[in-house]
Structure 1
């Protein structure tokens, strides 16, 4: 016969509730004793019945366990501010970075001629020096790039002139070779004409 599972809810019958409390309390204390013995755990149990009667179990001393629990809570409370301090440092770092970013953004806009309101004469002079220095560096870089491009074009021009000179020399050599072969061709044609005339039929007398 299988054991019937009891539904976990408040027992309405007072006598049955007292019997169940007594049995389960002893079972709970037995389990606590086994846990303490097997695992070398320090355990304290405090149980009040519905009539207000106190039942307790402790592997050592209930007071000692409670004091240990209080010390542990105090240690946790002392450690709690540390994460808060870390969060404060992170927040301070984020605020500093945000401020620095805002200043750099303002400087860039001022270099572009924006947000100049509120600057005094000295600040405007300093900004003008920065702009002049940047403009000079831009001009210098542009000139270097310009001269580099000119040198590249000159080099390409020289290469093209050399290539044209080679083509011109090749054309002249071809012309000379054609002039040298032309007289031989005429002589061959003249000789062949004479031969054809001599081989013709003689005219009658």
Structure 2
């Protein structure tokens, strides 16, 4: 039998692609390269290819950083075989010299900071010991924690207490004397004020007596005869 020729209708119909092939192609498109593990590449060829690619990218990034940000950048890379690759936005020697100067200054500053920290630590430790000593002395002066004290220490504490009592009594006597002196001054002020008032009163009494003596006797009689009469009026005789 002769093979049948495809008709025009068959040629115009879309060809069907197997489903398995289509899914496999989509999977390949969606495949993403996994994260590179940070460890030494064992294969020498792969290691060299990776070095070349990463070196080029690193040099490019250094150039972009210097141009875009106006930064001074110096990059030095040695290959596994010892070949030098470098990039510098100005001069490698000047950048290295600047780095060394800055590192030296940072080292001096760091040493200064460390010395200051050590000094502060020592001061804190000394102050802590002094505080503990003062607290211990205070407790002993209050009569606490005397079990571990020797006879000499107890005698020393007693002498300190006696000296403290003597200072307290002296201060109290001084305050009393100041109060007595102030009260005496106030008393003297009141005495002077009282004497002044007494003199003013005597002057006023003398003035009043003199005025009474100068009054006219006739005026006194008139004042005596002029009296107020209360009652019905008297009838006149016919």
In the aligned structure 2, how far is the partner of 1:33 from the partner of 1:147?
87
Whether contact under 8 Å (1:45, 1:57) holds in the other structure is yes
**Aligned with residue 57 of structure 2, among 24, 28, 31:** 28
**Aligned with residue 59 of structure 1, among 71, 75, 86:** 86
**Aligned with residue 41 of structure 1, among 54, 69, 74:** 74
Identify if the C-alpha distance between structure 1 residues 46 and 93 changes in structure 2 by more than 3 Å, giving closer, same or farther. farther
In the aligned structure 2, how far is the partner of 1:33 from the partner of 1:175?
115
Whether contact under 8 Å (2:139, 2:145) holds in the other structure is yes
Whether contact under 8 Å (2:66, 2:73) holds in the other structure is yes
In the aligned structure 2, how far is the partner of 1:175 from the partner of 1:33?
115
Deviates more, 1:88-97 or 1:174-183: 88-97
After TM superposition, the structure 1 = structure 2 runs for residues 49-128 of structure 1, keeping only pairs within 5 Å, are 58-59=85-86, 90-128=120-158
**Aligned with residue 172 of structure 2, among 113, 135, 142:** 142
Identify if the C-alpha distance between structure 1 residues 186 and 116 changes in structure 2 by more than 3 Å, giving closer, same or farther. farther
In the aligned structure 1, how far is the partner of 2:66 from the partner of 2:84?
13
Structure 2, unaligned runs of 5 or more:
1-29, 36-45, 88-95, 227-238
Identify if the C-alpha distance between structure 1 residues 100 and 26 changes in structure 2 by more than 3 Å, giving closer, same or farther. closer
Post-superposition shift, 1:30?
A: 5.2
Whether contact under 8 Å (2:78, 2:85) holds in the other structure is yes
Identify if the C-alpha distance between structure 1 residues 186 and 121 changes in structure 2 by more than 3 Å, giving closer, same or farther. farther
Whether contact under 8 Å (1:46, 1:57) holds in the other structure is yes
Greater C-alpha radius of gyration: 2
**Aligned with residue 172 of structure 1, among 189, 197, 202:** 202
**Aligned with residue 129 of structure 1, among 149, 154, 159:** 159
Q: Secondary structure at the match of 2:215?
A: helix
Identify if the C-alpha distance between structure 1 residues 27 and 175 changes in structure 2 by more than 3 Å, giving closer, same or farther. same
Post-superposition shift, 1:176?
A: 0.8
TM-score by length of 2: 0.51
Structure 1, unaligned runs of 5 or more:
1-6, 13-17, 48-53, 61-67, 197-205
Identify if the C-alpha distance between structure 1 residues 191 and 96 changes in structure 2 by more than 3 Å, giving closer, same or farther. closer
TM-score by length of 1: 0.59
**Whose helix proportion is higher, 1 or 2?**
1
